[in-house]
Amino acid sequence: MDDSMVVPDEVRVEVLRRLAEQAMSDPSFRAQARDDLDAALVAHGYELNERELTLVRRFRESLADAGVDLDLVAEARAE
């Protein structure tokens, strides 16, 4: 099965992994996602199902609650 297909309740780990990698490595994507996550996902070709989108939103909230700034994390990894 093509992992780009949207299946209602299936979590596609590879899609979420690519999304996480892009969030860590692409500052313009990060900035766009910070302002409007849904628009950023569409603009970059991500079609997440509801379960995946819920996981992404929870992960973002967890990072924010922990005070993690992905811009700082990406800069530290680049050094």
Q: Does residue 8 fall inside a structural domain? A: no
Tokens standing for residue 12? 């596609």
**Distance (Å, whole) CA 47 – CA 49:** 7
Domain of residue 23: give its range: 19-78
pLDDT at 1: 42
Residue 37 has pLDDT above 50, yes or no: yes
Q: Does residue 72 fall inside a structural domain? A: yes
Q: Does residue 54 fall inside a structural domain? A: yes
Contact indicator for 52, 11 with CB cutoff of 8 Å: yes
Q: Does residue 10 fall inside a structural domain? A: no
Q: Does residue 1 fall inside a structural domain? A: no
Tokens standing for residue 68? 């993690």
**Distance (Å, whole) CA 68 – CA 73:** 8
Q: Does residue 12 fall inside a structural domain? A: no
Residue 68 has pLDDT above 90, yes or no: no
For the chain, the domain total comes to: 1
Tokens standing for residue 75? 């800069």
Residue 75 has pLDDT above 70, yes or no: no
Lowest mean pLDDT among 20-34, 38-52, 59-73: 59-73
Q: Does residue 41 fall inside a structural domain? A: yes
Three-class SS state of 1: coil
